[in-house]
């Protein structure tokens, strides 16, 4: 990296020397990585827009209803009571992000992040389509306002807002469900002022991000991007320039019979295509989203000058410096083992998660009473959650002792995806009770079918 600008770390590529925004006009990318990114990106978009319509066992494929504290993942309903699953899922998610970033840097940002997918594959494509490639866009912005400029800018921003509206609505459907979104759209607007406001706020926020804020999300705002500096090291794989091969850089001299300089011909194509405006030849930088546009641009140049592709490629800093291949480090292996264990635990918890969740607690402040028939009676409070989409009539039976459960209603109907509460007595003969505190097991039945069992304590004299 001999010829890098000494001050390139002193100033953001998106700021002028006066501290104003320097608008990035990225050249339209093309090449094998761009094609691959399109395939991955459009598959993800199909999932994103299609998933709200998909139901499994009558439940949404994915629902994150924070307001009503209801969550559905792969058709399984979770409530705040599933705190262990949420905690473990959060821990697994954090570790996955750490491991992934240690090994592969910002690979996620370039290929999967919705910001990149929407910006590079949708919004920028529309911009190229309406305003032309980067040099034409620059010329249009410098042009005085005339009919052509008004037409192009207006149509671009109208389309941008329409797509942002679609994204905003899709985002909302993951929060409140597609049915509720449908209600907001079709009902009288005065009945859903809150929902309509949310729709407008989301749409406008997305429009602002994709029309104006753009790469600033990745370079300034995104916390994941900021984390890079503490997670990546010399062994992390990233889009990197092979300075061993490229330097000393210099223009191509066609009169030379044998090139005495490195393979980089200083054509700046890698800089022109970069959506964050950086020069990857300066080394790994926080602003690089690993979008691979510079790999494609440089490969095209290498093909033209008949040099091997990969002057810019996926590689770690160490592998370039030592001319070795990418290898797993001990840190990556250790993280992978912990991650596998957490994934196993999480899958087990989700897999064995029951459709009916019941909590039974002795009523606080109550000890025991003696009934007229001489039995010992304890009072209990019960909370039952039905995670299914059907109503379930349940009955309770004492499994551990011979005894009676006396409910106000002996059959409780659990509303679909609802929560019910109740109070009941358990009565047991004193001859069955061995100590002051006795462990009891209660069975929860739907007809003759045992749904789940719950344990509690029974107090006796």
Residues at the contact surface with ligand SF4, assessed by CB under 6 A: 239, 241, 246, 264-270, 273-276, 278, 280-281, 288-294, 297-298, 301, 311-312
Provide CB contacts within 8 A for 34, sequence distance 6+: 292, 293, 296
Q: In sequence order, which residues have a C-beta less than 8 Å from that of residue 20 and are 6 or more positions away?
A: none
Q: Which is nearer to ligand SF4, 297 or 360 (CB)?
A: 297
Cβ 346 to ligand SF4 shortest distance, Å: 33
The DSSP-derived string for 230-260 is: HH--TT--EEEE-HHHHPSP----TT-SS--
Nearer to ligand SF4, 273 or 358 (CB): 273
Residue 55, beta-bridge partner list: 60
In the complex, the smallest distance separating the C-beta of residue 34 from ligand SF4, rounded to whole angstroms, is 11
Beta strands in 111-189 (DSSP E): none
Q: Nearer to ligand SF4 by C-beta: 62 or 280?
A: 280
E strand or H helix at 195, and its extent?
Answer: helix 193-208
Residue 123 CB, shortest distance to ligand SF4, in Å, is: 16
Q: How far is the CB of 264 from ligand SF4 (least distance, A)?
A: 3
Quick one: how far is CA 199 from the chain centroid? 21
Nearer Cβ to ligand SF4 (12/294):
294
Nearest residue (CB) to ligand SF4, 102 versus 264: 264
Other beta carbons within 10 angstroms of residue 101's beta carbon come to 20
Q: How far is the CB of 273 from ligand SF4 (least distance, A)?
A: 6
For ligand SF4, the closer of residues 309 and 331 by Cβ is 309
| Cβ within 8 Å of residue 9, ≥6 positions away | 285
According to DSSP, residue 86 is labeled: H
Report how far residue 249's alpha carbon sits from residue 4's, in angstroms, rounded to the nearest whole number: 10
Of the pair 82, 120, the CB lying nearest ligand SF4 is at: 120
Task: State the Cα–Cα distance between residues 418 and 412, nearest whole angstrom.
Answer: 12
For the chain, first and last CA: distance in Å?
84
The three-state secondary structure class of 186 is helix
Which of helix, strand or coil describes residue 304? Answer: helix
To ligand SF4, the closest distance from the beta carbon of 271 in angstroms equals 7
Q: How many CB atoms lie within 10 A of CB 71?
A: 20
**Residue indicated by tokens 């959506």:** 275
CB of 110 to ligand SF4, least distance (A): 6
Q: How far apart are CA 278 and CA 272, in angstroms?
A: 9
Instruction: Tell the smallest beta-carbon distance from residue 289 to ligand SF4 (Å).
Output: 5
Q: Write out the H or E segment, with its range, that includes residue 198.
A: helix 193-208
Q: Which is nearer to ligand SF4, 301 or 315 (CB)?
A: 301
Q: Smallest distance from the beta carbon of 92 to ligand SF4, in angstroms?
A: 28
Q: Which residue has the tokens 């607690």?
A: 361
H helix runs in 32-142, sequence order? 32-50, 83-104, 107-111, 114-116, 124-131, 134-142
Q: How far apart are CA 23 and CA 14, in angstroms?
A: 7
Which residue number, 91 or 231, has a Cβ lying nearer to ligand SF4? 231
Measured from the CB atom, is 60 or 246 closer to ligand SF4?
Answer: 246
CB of 294 to ligand SF4, least distance (A): 3
Note the Cα 244 to chain centre separation in Å: 37
Task: Please identify, using beta-carbon distances, which residue of 46 and 305 lies nearer to ligand SF4.
Answer: 305
Give the 3-state secondary structure of residue 95. helix
φ and ψ at residue 135, rounded to 5 degrees: -70, -35
Q: What share of the chain is helix, strand, coil (3-state, %, to 5)?
A: 45, 20, 35
Least separation, in Å, of the C-beta of 141 and ligand SF4? 21
Instruction: Please report how close the Cβ of residue 265 comes to ligand SF4 at its closest, in angstroms.
Output: 5
* Choice between 41 and 246, CB closer to ligand SF4: 246
């Amino acid at each position: 990296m001999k010829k890098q600008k000494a001050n390139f770390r002193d100033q953001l590529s998106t700021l002028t020397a006066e501290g104003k925004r320097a608008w990035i006009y990225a050249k339209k990318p093309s090449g094998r990585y761009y094609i691959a990114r399109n395939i991955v990106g459009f598959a993800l978009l199909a999932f994103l827009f299609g998933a709200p319509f998909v139901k499994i066992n009558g439940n949404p494929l994915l629902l994150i209803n924070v307001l009503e504290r209801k969550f559905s993942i792969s058709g399984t309903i979770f409530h705040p009571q599933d705190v262990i699953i949420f905690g473990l899922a959060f821990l697994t998610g954090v570790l996955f992000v750490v491991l992934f970033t240690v090994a592969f840097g910002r690979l996620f940002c370039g290929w999967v992040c919705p910001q990149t997918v929407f910006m590079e594959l949708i919004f920028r494509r529309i911009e190229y389509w309406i305003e032309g490639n980067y040099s034409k866009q620059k010329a249009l912005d410098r042009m005085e306002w005339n009919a052509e400029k008004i037409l192009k800018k207006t149509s671009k921003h109208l389309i941008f807002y329409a797509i942002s509206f679609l994204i905003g609505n899709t985002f909302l459907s993951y929060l409140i469900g597609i049915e509720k979104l449908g209600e907001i759209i079709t009902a009288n607007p005065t009945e859903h002022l809150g929902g309509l406001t949310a729709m407008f706020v989301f749409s406008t926020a997305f429009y602002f991000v994709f029309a104006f804020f753009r790469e600033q999300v990745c370079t300034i705002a995104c916390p994941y991007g900021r984390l890079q500096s503490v997670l990546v090291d010399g062994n992390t794989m990233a889009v990197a320039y092979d300075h061993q091969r490229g330097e000393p850089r210099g223009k191509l001299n066609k009169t030379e019979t044998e090139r005495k300089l490195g393979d980089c011909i200083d054509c700046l194509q890698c800089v022109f295509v970069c959506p964050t405006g950086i020069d990857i030849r300066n080394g790994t930088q926080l602003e690089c989203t690993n979008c691979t546009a510079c790999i494609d641009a440089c490969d095209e140049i290498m093909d033209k000058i008949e040099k091997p592709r990969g002057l810019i490629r996926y590689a770690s800093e160490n592998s370039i410096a030592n001319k070795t291949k990418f290898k797993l480090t001990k840190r990556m292996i250790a993280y992978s083992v912990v991650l596998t264990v957490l994934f196993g635990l999480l899958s087990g918890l989700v897999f064995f998660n029951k459709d009916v969740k019941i909590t039974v607690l002795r009523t606080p402040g109550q000890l025991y009473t003696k009934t007229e028939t001489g039995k010992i009676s304890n009072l209990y409070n019960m909370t039952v959650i039905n995670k299914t989409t059907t109503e379930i009539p349940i009955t309770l039976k004492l499994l551990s002792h011979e005894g009676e459960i006396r409910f106000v209603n002996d059959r409780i109907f659990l509303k679909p995806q609802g929560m019910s509460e109740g109070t009941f007595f358990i009565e047991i003969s004193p001859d069955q009770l061995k100590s002051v505190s006795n462990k009891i097991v209660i069975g929860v039945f739907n007809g003759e079918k045992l749904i789940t069992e719950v344990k509690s304590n029974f107090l006796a004299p």
